Amino acid sequence: MISVLEQPIPFGGGIELPPHKAVSLAQPLVKADLPDVIKLPLCQHSGLSALPLVHVGEHVLKGQLIAQAQGSINAPVHASTSGTIKEITDHATPNPSGATSPCIVIETDRQDTWLADRNPIEDFYSLTPVDIQQKILEAGVVGLGGAGFPSSVKIKSQSNLNIELLILNAAECEPYISCDESLIRHHVRDIIIGMDILAHALQVDNCVIAIEDNKLDTINILQEALHSHAGTDIKLKLIPSRYPAGGEKQLIKSITGIEVSAEGLPIDVGIVCYNIGTAFAVKKAVLDDEPLISRVLTITGPGINKPCNLEVLIGTSMHELIAQCGGYNDQFEYLIMGGPMMGFRLHDDHVPVIKTTNCLLAAGAEIHASTNQPSPCIRCDECAPVCPVNLQPQQLHWHSKQHNTERLLDYHLFDCIECGCCSYVCPSHISLVDEYRQAKSLIWDSRRKQLEADKNKQRYQNKLQRELQQKLDKVKERTMRDENNVDAVSTAKNKKAEIMAAVNRVKAKRKARDS
């Protein structure tokens, strides 16, 4: 049985950062305006793209399934409002490279009409874990705190494993981002019901909500809600507010003392973690029969006029949301999707909000280390003690510059969680985390190319093998035909000889008779 520690322990490394959350939390959580156009990328998370089920000109309703999941790690896409399919084509989507990808574009009818045949329920205990997993899968729920791993997969995996602990991660540790805290403040009961549903689906009764100890108002709200909660026994654990306390493995280490290996998953040690927003989406999917078509998003930063949290339809243009928040001010330099530590700079704000968009940060000059001019590494070693996964960032920096894949792998490049702590403390302002991301993507590219080359080689060898086999088959066929011909000739010769012998016998008889 996994026990939760009375006193959380430090996870090692990390840094203390100013929260910068109060300004966005000061505003009530409201719904964003209904947009004229919704752009829904077919791939908004880890895994394969979904397959469109609609055609241009078709009218769709809010919540309607418009693209079907394919593959085992994938999520379907639903219309976030009612309207007409305008096009299905490539558009710019939020990603670090600015690349385009296929999207379904809906011209909204501004009626926001739901599908008529939704089927809300009240008692989720009447559902089996498999039913719940199916509902979460069909609703397109993905992890809303990270890379967007489809949430149903974690429940599916529990059939082979013994899950002992369910953690709801409320440690929103990156500065500026406050969407989870805002969600707790406005929808705490729905979040706790979502956790009850997940606990039932995973058949777990050891449940913890973990939150940083400096979020006093939100802690009070959680305590009050849990005090009057009659469902699963859920404990509240306060962890030190040290970035990246909300990293899944760091959180598990803090509250249980268990280390999840770099290549392992929490599920390998009997633990499942979900984000606050995901629990909320699970409640809506299972009880209200609502697919994941909206999310809460923080719009903040020194470069925005009215920081706040908004409930936004997936597919809404970021540009429109910025306008609803009073637009950019004169401090604005560029827009980041995510926080200042792990987020990435957007090339354009006319891209849609996707399921994993938790924050739009209108950055001023001071936010990213990368805006300072970098100077050479002075080997001060400031970066090593802050690394939460015990890497040697300085070594990774040297080998990234040299493109030395072998040494990068020796120094465990792929264990890097891209938290940005090393970049943050580097006095030379080297964008270390950007270098590691680039190095990882180069290595992935070369592995993909190698894999492709191996496949091509194998395909060529298979082709040669097939051709050789065809030649052998032909030779065999010809030989058999020749043998058959030889047999036929010899049979014909024998027959001819027999006939000749018979003729000769008749002739001999006649001669004997005539004489």
**Residue span binding ligand SF4 (CB under 6 A) among the ranges 31-39, 46-54, 150-158, 388-396:** 388-396
CB 244, CB 16: distance < 8 Å = no
Which of 139, 188, 335, 419 is the binder for ligand SF4 (CB under 6 A)?
A: 419
Helix (H, G, I), strand (E, B) or coil at 235: strand
Please, which residue, 146 or 291, has the CB nearer to ligand SF4? 146
Please, which residue, 78 or 253, has the CB nearer to ligand SF4? 253
Work out whether 12 is an interface residue with ligand SF4 (CB under 6 A): no
Angle at 350 between CA 347 and CA 356, to 5 degrees: 80
Angstrom CA distances, 252 to 13, 111, 255, stand at 15, 45, 5
* Nearest distance from C-beta of residue 341 to ligand SF4, angstroms: 9
DSSP 214: T
**Residue span binding ligand SF4 (CB under 6 A) among the ranges 78-86, 306-314, 389-397, 402-410:** 389-397
Work out whether 342 is an interface residue with ligand SF4 (CB under 6 A): no
Please, which residue, 401 or 505, has the CB nearer to ligand SF4? 401
The DSSP bridge pattern shows strands 65-68 and 77-78 to be antiparallel
* Nearest distance from C-beta of residue 427 to ligand SF4, angstroms: 6
* Cα distance between residue 336 and residue 368, in whole Å: 10
**Residue span binding ligand SF4 (CB under 6 A) among the ranges 112-120, 350-358, 371-379, 460-468:** 371-379
Work out whether 303 is an interface residue with ligand SF4 (CB under 6 A): no
* Nearest distance from C-beta of residue 172 to ligand SF4, angstroms: 18
Work out whether 383 is an interface residue with ligand SF4 (CB under 6 A): yes
CB 195, CB 234: distance < 8 Å = yes
Site size for ligand SF4 (CB under 6 A): 30
Which of 50, 296, 377, 408 is the binder for ligand SF4 (CB under 6 A)?
A: 377
Axis-axis angle for helices 129-138, 179-202 (nearest 10): 140
* Cα distance between residue 514 and residue 174, in whole Å: 127
Which residue in 279, 310, 317 sits closest to 142, CA to CA? 279
Listed in sequence order, the residues at least 6 apart from 382 whose beta carbon sits closer than 8 Å to its beta carbon are 425, 426, 427
* Nearest distance from C-beta of residue 102 to ligand SF4, angstroms: 32
Q: What is the DSSP string of 292-351?
A: S-EEEEEEESTTBSS-EEEEEETT-BHHHHHHHTT-B-TT--EEEES-TTT-EE-S-S-S
Tell me, residue by residue from 399 to 418, as one string, x for binding to ligand SF4 by CB under 6 A and - for no binding: -----------------xxx
Helix (H, G, I), strand (E, B) or coil at 205: coil
* Nearest distance from C-beta of residue 421 to ligand SF4, angstroms: 4
Listed in sequence order, the residues at least 6 apart from 336 whose beta carbon sits closer than 8 Å to its beta carbon are 301, 343, 344, 345, 346, 359, 360, 361, 363, 367, 368
* Nearest distance from C-beta of residue 250 to ligand SF4, angstroms: 10
Work out whether 380 is an interface residue with ligand SF4 (CB under 6 A): yes
Work out whether 421 is an interface residue with ligand SF4 (CB under 6 A): yes
Total Cβ atoms within 10 A of residue 341: 25
DSSP 369: G
CB 323, CB 300: distance < 8 Å = no
Reading the block at residue 365, the tokens are 């000059």
Please, which residue, 379 or 511, has the CB nearer to ligand SF4? 379
**Residue 357 backbone class (left: φ over 0; alpha: ψ -120 to 50; beta: rest):** beta
CB 466, CB 417: distance < 8 Å = no
The DSSP bridge pattern shows strands 65-68 and 51-52 to be antiparallel
**Residue span binding ligand SF4 (CB under 6 A) among the ranges 64-72, 145-153, 235-243, 373-381:** 373-381
Helix (H, G, I), strand (E, B) or coil at 122: coil
Please, which residue, 306 or 440, has the CB nearer to ligand SF4? 440
Which of 195, 234, 426, 439 is the binder for ligand SF4 (CB under 6 A)?
A: 426
* Nearest distance from C-beta of residue 243 to ligand SF4, angstroms: 10
Work out whether 445 is an interface residue with ligand SF4 (CB under 6 A): no
* Cα distance between residue 80 and residue 315, in whole Å: 7
**Residue span binding ligand SF4 (CB under 6 A) among the ranges 51-59, 102-110, 197-205, 372-380:** 372-380
* Nearest distance from C-beta of residue 169 to ligand SF4, angstroms: 18
**Residue span binding ligand SF4 (CB under 6 A) among the ranges 224-232, 288-296, 325-333, 376-384:** 376-384
* Residues at the site binding ligand SF4, with contacts judged by CB under 6 A: 377-383, 386-389, 391, 393-394, 396-397, 416-422, 426-428, 430, 432-433, 436
